[in-house]
Each structure stands twice: as structure tokens, then as C-alpha cells.
Structure 1
């Protein structure tokens, strides 16, 4: 299997989702850092300089939409929203705020992994 060195920031207030994604993504070769809320996400982003962010929307302190807006002020890092908010209006909001993709919970980890590979591949084309 191809070895990845990309760093992914996983942001979710549910510890179980952070653990599952950290384990799965690490097993396939990504370097994974995590954050449990929006404020921690921004702090971790600035320290870790990830290549991609997987971002929950409904979180304490600062929601994912707010995090996405802040990240877009300082970076073009690819962002995949991962959230239970599945209405078309919610997806449109996330995409219009700058997310590159939007995955609705409950989700297939294999599908998310494929979307991560796809978004990273597209981001490399535009460098």
C-alpha cells in the first residue's frame, strides 16, 4: 500500500469518532492530530499545519462553520465537513463557507477515506 505522509486534523466533540478516525487514518499512513472543539481546532491547526481538516459542525465554543470561516481567512487547506446536519441547506452553507466536501453522519469510514484521498489529490493539482 502507498505510504502517505500527509497530516490530517480531525475535529469532533465526540471522543469515539476522534478515536476511530485517528486509528483508521493512522493505520493507512496518515499523521493524525485531533481537537475536541472549535477553539482547540484553530489552536491545533496553527501549531500542526495539517494538509487537510476533517471538521464536525455542531461543537461547543465555536461551531464548525465558524472554524471553517476562520481557516479560510488564513489558509486554503482542504476541509471536509463531517456532520449530522444533512439537509441540503446545511450542505450548501458548509460548501459556501469554503468546505471542499461534506460527509453526513452516520458515515462509512471507507467512504471518508476515499474522499480524503480525492480531496488531497485535487489540492496537489492546484499547488
Structure 2
């Protein structure tokens, strides 16, 4: 069965440059993207739109990534990929979060795209045919 719409990904990071780059790469791969700059805004966008996967930082103004993830996990098993440049935050997250993919900043965008496709497939979300390959052919 073909999806009627591309998977929707929510990117949450207080670094506007990183958010802009991630959204552009994901859109170029055929995904529908929303973004948020804070955990509070991310929670709001998550609750208002059918989100298939979340990519988030941990350190943000307001509610941090860990608090936001805990609130989302209380009601949903949506795939979550955490990206963070703070090793201490990583260690803290590893101890309290389950079923979360962790990636260190800086990260390889091709690796992130493969991880997105893998997480969507594991969660049962219909993925775009060979999203990663379509990017490779554009370059």
C-alpha cells in the first residue's frame, strides 16, 4: 500500500541554522517537515499534527528535550531521534530514556537520513520509495 502523504517529521532544536539545514535535507528527501525552537513549541506542534517521527536536541529553552520526550512517551511510541552536542546530556538521557536513538553532533547527514528511514520502517510508517537513493541521484 502506498502512503497518501509523505511521512511527517518534527525537527526541534533551538539552533536555527541546524534546524534549517535538517528541514531542507529532509524535505529534499521527500519528507514533510515541521520545526520548533523549544520543547514547549515542539509539544504543541506534536499535539496538533500527525507526526511520524521526531528529531530533537536535548538542551533547549523552557522544557528541555528529556522532559518533552517523557511527556510524549507517556502517550505515544512515536520514533524519536535525539541529536546533541553535549556529552553530559547524552549520559543523562541514556539512563532515563528508552527506545530513543541518540546521535552526537556533529553528525553525517547521510547517516541521519538512513536512520530516519530505518526508524520509520521499524515503526510501521510507510516510507517513501528509496528516499535516500533519490538524494544520492540528485548530487
TM-score, normalised to structure 2, is 0.80
Instruction: Name 2:112's counterpart in structure 1.
Output: 112
Higher RCO (CA 8 Å, separation ≥ 6 residues)? 2
Instruction: Name 1:50's counterpart in structure 2.
Output: 51
Q: Deviations over 1:6-42 (max 9, x none)?
A: 0000000000011001101001100000000000000
Task: Provide the aligned length of Structure 1 versus Structure 2.
Answer: 121
Cα drift, residue 89 of structure 1: 2.1
Instruction: Name 1:92's counterpart in structure 2.
Output: 94
C-alpha distance 72-91 of structure 1, shift in aligned 2 (>3 A): closer
Q: Quick one: distance in 1 between partners of 2:124 and 2:102?
A: 19
Structure number, greater radius of gyration: 2
Q: Deviations over 1:82-109 (max 9, x none)?
A: 111235623513xx42342000101111
C-alpha distance 36-107 of structure 1, shift in aligned 2 (>3 A): same
Show structure 2 runs of 5+ residues with no match: 126-139
Counterpart secondary structure, 2:124: helix
Q: How does 1:1-127 map to 2 (within 5 A)?
A: 5-86=6-87, 89-93=91-95, 96-124=96-124
Q: Quick one: distance in 2 between partners of 1:124 and 1:85?
A: 31
Q: Quick one: distance in 2 between partners of 1:82 and 1:34?
A: 14
C-alpha distance 99-81 of structure 1, shift in aligned 2 (>3 A): farther
Cα drift, residue 77 of structure 1: 0.4
TM-score, normalised to structure 1, is 0.88
